[in-house]
A = this chain, B = another copy of it.
Amino acid sequence: MRVLEISSFVAAPLGGLTLAQLGADVIRIDPVGGAADIGRWPLAPSGTSLYWTGLNKGKRSVTLDFRSAEGRQVVADLVAASGPDGGIVLTNAVGQDWLGYAQLARHRPDLIHLQIRGRHDGGAAVDYTVNAATGFPLITGPEGHAGPVNHVLPAWDVACGLYAAVGLLAAERHRRRTGEGRALALALEDVALAVAGHLGFLAEVQVTGADRPRIGNHLYGGFARDFATANGERVMLVALTGRHFSDLARVTGLAEIFAELERLLGADFSTEGDRYAYRELIASLLTPWFGQRTVADLAASFAGTSVLWARYRSFTDLATDPQLAANALMQEIDQPGVGCLLAPGSPIRQPGVGAVAPAPVLGGDTAEVLTGLLGMSREAVAALGDRGIAGESR
């Protein structure tokens, strides 16, 4: 499968990355000098964007002058010439007719074209505005906090990029069966609405007429919360099922107290509803137990039980944990502009998947792609480069 990606920021590049790490030939085509995300933070000391290189691993990079008719024609030629497994375009460009389905399908009738938009009506939106409009920031964060709490993980961008990969694979399956291409539209706002709907958030307000309260680090409708430990760390504890909770009660020596409280209150802590209703009571009994134990004590106490827990870690804790390097997901790559570092492949593990490939140098594959796919001579590519139509490696 060959995908031509004209993209920037997270969603579209993550869609292409997801396919590239499963073996697709993904060619990211940028304007000469790079798109708006070329310098996005975080940066390496060299100034190379760790964000751009992270999201473009294993792709090839072509740069072209998007403002010139000649540069645009090369994009159309690449769409036409990308082979029987090609003719697949992934883009988040909006309002640029030359990159739209209608124009490009003239060169490739079985074109598969997925356009990521902010809003379905074509309006602009980004992860941070979509998140504000979707309800989560007002129920995230400490219980007494006034005002919204934004997420740091751009979760809608991530979901949108993965939906894009799904959409392209499904459309390619349809094309193999019918010969027909497809114009797909995927709006970031729709992704957020769909996920909020699928998880019951939209149904809840429609059915109950009431907003869910802000409950800090508690889990809605169950028992899960963070606790401080003896050594000043914090752990997250999750008792999703009755078995989790009974194991927790046994390990903490609170089984008898919980049973007596259930009797006195007419409650049943084996049901998630009652564990949720009495969450503060349950937590208040657990707090001293956790406060008297170190993380190592907890590991010993919970070993062999069903209790789910984890220590809160910083990214530094995570990156320096020997378990990270031992995880086959992570491989050392030599990233141009950055150096050697551990980088993840696809979390979809399957036999026979090769090494994690670094991101290309911006424009570094222009000559190879134009000669390989379009049959241009090296001289013709160089002439395009001299006139600023095609980018040089840098």
* Chain A positions near chain B (C-beta within 8 angstroms): 1, 9-10, 14, 17-18, 22, 36, 39-42, 44-45, 49-51, 53-55, 57, 114, 120, 124-126, 128-142, 145, 147-155, 158-160, 162-163, 165-167, 169-173, 176, 182-187, 190-191, 193-212, 216-217, 219-222, 224, 226, 228, 234-236, 238, 240-241, 272-273, 276, 306, 308-319, 324, 327-330, 335, 338-339, 341-351
Give 28 CB contacts A-B under 8 Å: A14-B198, A40-B221, A50-B203, A54-B200, A55-B198, A55-B200, A120-B327, A125-B310, A128-B308, A129-B238, A132-B235, A132-B312, A135-B318, A140-B140, A141-B141, A141-B145, A148-B234, A150-B217, A155-B159, A159-B159, A162-B163, A184-B349, A190-B329, A190-B347, A193-B327, A193-B347, A202-B319, A211-B314
Instruction: Quote the shortest CB–CB distance from A1 to chain B (angstroms).
Output: 8
A50 to B200 alpha-carbon distance, docked (Å): 5
Sample of 12 more A-B contacts, CB < 8 Å, known A120-B329, A136-B153, A190-B349: A40-B221, A42-B207, A50-B204, A129-B236, A129-B308, A129-B310, A133-B310, A147-B226, A150-B226, A167-B348, A185-B350, A197-B342
Q: Output the residue of A9, A196, A228, A318 with the most chain B CB within 10 A.
A: A318
Please determine whether A50 and B349 come into contact, CB atoms closer than 8 angstroms.
Answer: no
Instruction: Quote the shortest CB–CB distance from A8 to chain B (angstroms).
Output: 10
Please determine whether B212 and A42 come into contact, CB atoms closer than 8 angstroms.
Answer: yes
Chain copies in the assembled complex: 2
A9 to B221 alpha-carbon distance, docked (Å): 13
Knowing A150-B226, A217-B148, say if A185 contacts B346 (CB, 8 Å). Answer: no
Find chain B residues with CB under 8 A from A142 CB: 141-142, 145, 149
Q: Which of B129, B162, B194 contacts A344 (CB 8 A)?
A: B194
Instruction: Quote the shortest CB–CB distance from A132 to chain B (angstroms).
Output: 4
Q: Which of B203, B240, B335, B342 contacts A126 (CB 8 A)?
A: B240
Knowing A120-B329, A202-B342, A348-B163, say if A129 contacts B226 (CB, 8 Å). Answer: no
Please determine whether B203 and A154 come into contact, CB atoms closer than 8 angstroms.
Answer: no
A240 to B88 alpha-carbon distance, docked (Å): 28
A51 to B311 alpha-carbon distance, docked (Å): 28
Q: Which of B151, B220, B273, B344 contacts A193 (CB 8 A)?
A: B344
Please determine whether B272 and A171 come into contact, CB atoms closer than 8 angstroms.
Answer: no
Closest B residue to A36 using CB positions: B241
Knowing A142-B145, A193-B329, A197-B54, say if A207 contacts B45 (CB, 8 Å). Answer: yes
Please determine whether B133 and A184 come into contact, CB atoms closer than 8 angstroms.
Answer: no
A323 to B216 alpha-carbon distance, docked (Å): 30
Instruction: Quote the shortest CB–CB distance from A247 to chain B (angstroms).
Output: 12
A344 to B133 alpha-carbon distance, docked (Å): 17
Instruction: Quote the shortest CB–CB distance from A326 to chain B (angstroms).
Output: 10
